[in-house]
Amino acid sequence: MCGKFTAMSSWAEVVAFSQPLSGRDEKDRALTYRVVDNLPVIVLDIVAGKRQVVPMRWGFPDPQDWRRPRPIHARSETIDTTKAFAEAFRDGQRGIVLMKTFNEAPDVKGPTVQHTITPDTVLAAAFVWRRFILPDNPAPMFACVLVTVPANQLISTLPTDRMPAFLAPEDWELWLGEKAAGLEEVKACLKTMEGVRWTMAKEGKSGTVVRGKPVVSDPTGLF
């Protein structure tokens, strides 16, 4: 399942279907994000009535140790009924992260072999987020998880059965809560993207190293 992706820091490639974002970095550069990293999440600022980018850790805090990210993914089919995600989904704590490329690995035993998928355009991945109060932290933690859907025909050849939920440009307003809609209509935005013109290539040896679970001190774990 996806645990690494790249994005352009300035969002310049998506201005055509996104209103201006506050706090935007004008320098175009490719950045790589992994589990436990702070992701640039596009959310709706309800008070200001506009979109903004908020840094959020990828992975909700484990109940036993907040430094461990668990969970990091939310299944689209049960996002409205699973306890960990239902409240955030219902209350509009939904965000978007823009991906230039993303990684997947086969669901097989043995060393993890990463494959990089390169779409023909920047894609908007659906996330849900929450604000956590942690006993050891003076400030709240904002954390997010990636929403997943069944793998499309290309990615299922790895083999793996899940992939990120990518939003169509016309569904941004629904997902972010800018347009009034019922939860069933919002959930219907989460679809497997088929009929795509993407490429998929296996990474080099650096992507085949077996690692432990990701933690703050080692955010590359597993991925």
Distances (CA, A) of 150 to 16, 68, 79, 159: 28, 26, 14, 12
Residue 29 clears pLDDT 80, i.e. is over it:
no
**Cα-to-chain-centroid distance, residue 189:** 15
Rounded Cα gap, residues 147 and 154, in angstroms: 19
Confidence class for position 26, pLDDT limits 50, 70, 90: very low
Rounded Cα gap, residues 119 and 116, in angstroms: 10
Residue 73 clears pLDDT 60, i.e. is over it:
yes
Which pLDDT score is estimated for 198?
96
Residue 78 clears pLDDT 50, i.e. is over it:
yes
Residue 88 clears pLDDT 80, i.e. is over it:
yes
Tokens in use for 133? 């109060």
Question: What are the tens digits of pLDDT across the range 35-58?
Answer: 999 999 999 998 888 898 899 999
Confidence class for position 171, pLDDT limits 50, 70, 90: very high
Residue 21 clears pLDDT 80, i.e. is over it:
no
Residue 164 clears pLDDT 60, i.e. is over it:
yes
Tokens in use for 205? 């040896």
Tokens in use for 69? 């990210």
Which pLDDT score is estimated for 23?
45
- Mean pLDDT across the chain, nearest whole number? 85
Higher pLDDT pick, 136 / 25: 136
Higher pLDDT pick, 213 / 88: 88
Helices marked H in the chain: 83-90, 172-176, 183-187
Fold of 4-208: hypothetical protein yedk fold (3.90.1680)
Cis bond before residue 159 (omega within 30° of 0) = yes
Rounded Cα gap, residues 39 and 125, in angstroms: 12
Higher pLDDT pick, 12 / 154: 154
The ranges assigned to domains in the chain are 4-208
Apex 62 CA angle, 203 and 103, nearest 5: 15
Which pLDDT score is estimated for 205?
62
Confidence class for position 204, pLDDT limits 50, 70, 90: confident
Tokens in use for 222? 């597993």
Mean pLDDT of the region 91-100: 95
Q: Are 93 and 85 in contact (CB under 8 A)?
A: no
Tokens in use for 110? 């043995």
Residue 173 clears pLDDT 50, i.e. is over it:
yes
